[in-house]
Structure 1
């Protein structure tokens, strides 16, 4: 229900209340049929009539009736917010199906560094964590790297090339499908803004549609990321510049904020470098382990990975903590 529609309903109900109140103030003594004419429930009418209620009490009774009508119409504080998407008790929003298109790219194996470049995922990340269930996202979905790691359920629709039964696949967004402004967005420039488009790893695309299709209309929706094990951190940088690439994030799959500290030390806020890689300009002691605090981008939950990185860490190494967003 839209806010405009809600406002119209409220206006109508208040107008109705106004006339009912005006009527009540004019009537000092009335029979039940007269109250019936103004549309009050029998319960309220009975109270007013049987007790020979004065007009002012009748006004209060009518106000209570109108409030009940407002509540029954759903015009509550939550109604006015009209949140989209809705958030169930699990903390992960419920997303509806949206329309888009999908193609495929890269080697038929669906593995390798080509499938993770703009988000920072390496070929080994793809092979060990995400397999062939990945896709490059158009600019609105990539969202300057905020979309890296998010999970989507995708199904082919309205095409003769769709696999019978329209099965769906769940993929992780791991790369950017760059715009091609030399092509019209409806004819070749499928990743041009504001289009939402998925360039999928071939094995995932083939589960939806025949290869010969090339491009098909799809529907997609966000879903929780089901991961095995804890969040993984891969280190880069130098002694004065810590660069952490984040893998295997569960729940929303995305990261909004990160902070790091030496065990027992003070938190150092990190900033996004690119994709799902965060940095801190600090000289941290390698002889002690590091803890990482992560806030998810979707549900804004925060976890602390206390065993994120053990002592004597260094660039080029990857470590996996024991907890995740479940």
Structure 2
């Protein structure tokens, strides 16, 4: 029985490795903002200043088919410009770029062009810096290969605190490995573990007054892994500040 369980576990692991290596080709890419990152500072994931938070210009907005109502925020992807048979605006000799999902590319149901982010299209709206790394600016839009990859982050998971004395919200960012968070629980020094609700993007909220309590968080990522950050926030915490955990996924 032990050998059978080991074999099944090995097969599951191998399947995960094979799946992670598969390049998909059912998507296109455009760009937004300018070459210095204008237009990429804020977004539907709630990350705020992408440079201060470590995401920089290596970012992308996702269409509805990929965004998953904000649950995809923080996920990392490799993208390669895909050559066409008769023409191509892909830059030669360029390897894959790596980007993090930090924004939403909203659908456009009006007349004219620019419907790439409408369902059911899978689309990446890259920062201009990332788009022009793999393709000519004049292309505007290019077909791509893409795949999910682990996120590599420096330091621990970070928690930015928001809200008021009666309502508490936390932005979870700098998450490694899977990158995107699927669940958050909070524990004050005077409470047990409480489940938080996803508000928008990667902002999670709960009613109640946590002022004066040290705070712990339990974070679950999309691959089912859970880490506990015990007393990561001291009792003298303040709204608007970020606190860093001692470990990462």
Structure 1 residue ranges (4+ consecutive) displaced by more than 6 angstroms after TM superposition: 82-85
Distance in structure 1 (CA, Å) of the matches to 2:68 and 2:120 = 11
- Residue by residue over 1:138-187, the C-alpha shift from the partner in whole angstroms, topping out at 9 and shown as x without a partner, is 00111000010000000001142111024210000000000001257xx5
SS of the residue aligned with 2:66? Answer: helix
TM-score w.r.t. the length of structure 1 is 0.68
How many residues in Structure 1 have an aligned counterpart in Structure 2? 237
Q: Give the structure with the higher percent strand.
A: 2
Superposition RMSD in Å: 2.3
1:290 aligns with 2:220: no
Q: SS of 1:291's equivalent? A: strand
The answer on 1:158 being equivalent to 2:69 is no
- Report what 2:226 is aligned to: 302
Say if 2:168 is the partner of 1:232.
Answer: no
Residues 1:280 and 2:206 are matched in the alignment: yes
SS at match of 1:227: coil
Residues 186-227 of structure 1: CA deviation (Å, up to 9, x unaligned):
x52010111000110111111101111110010100000000
Kept in 1, the 8 Å contact 2:65–2:121? The answer is: yes
User: What is the distance in 2 between the residues matched to 1:183 and 1:254?
Assistant: 34
Instruction: Please say if residues 76 and 100 of structure 2, whose CA atoms lie closer than 8 Å, have aligned partners that are also in contact.
Output: yes
5+ long unaligned stretches in structure 2: 1-6
Pick from 94, 104, 107 the counterpart of residue 34 of structure 2.
107
Determine helix, strand or coil for the equivalent of 1:181: coil
Q: Which has the higher contact order (CA 8 A, sep 6+)?
A: 2
Bigger radius of gyration: 1
Q: Give me the whole-angstrom Cα distance separating, in 2, the residues matched to 1:216 and 1:260.
A: 43
Q: 1:172 aligns with which of 85, 100, 108?
A: 100
- Which residue number in structure 1 is paired with residue 237 of structure 2? 313
The alignment status of 1:323 with 2:240, answered yes or no, reads no
Alignment of 1:176-255 (within 5 A): 176-183=104-111, 187-255=113-181
Offset at residue 87 of structure 1 (A): 2.1
The separation in 1 between residues aligned to 2:46 and 2:240, in whole angstroms, is 14
Q: Which residue of 2 aligns with 1:122?
A: 48
Report the CA distance shift for 1:86/1:175 in structure 2 as closer, same or farther (over 3 A). same
> Hey, what's the Cα distance between the residues in 2 that align with 1:85 and 1:245?
34
Deviations 1:209-250 (A, max 9, x none): 111111001010000000000011111111121100111010
Q: Secondary structure at the residue paired with 2:69?
A: helix
* Structure 1 contact 111–127 (Cα < 8 Å) conserved: no
SS at match of 2:131: helix
Question: Offset at 1:308?
Answer: 2.3
Distance across 2 between alignment mates of 1:310 and 1:195: 45
Shift of 1:300: 0.4
Question: Could you tell me whether the CA contact under 8 Å between 1:85 and 1:95 is conserved in 2?
Answer: no
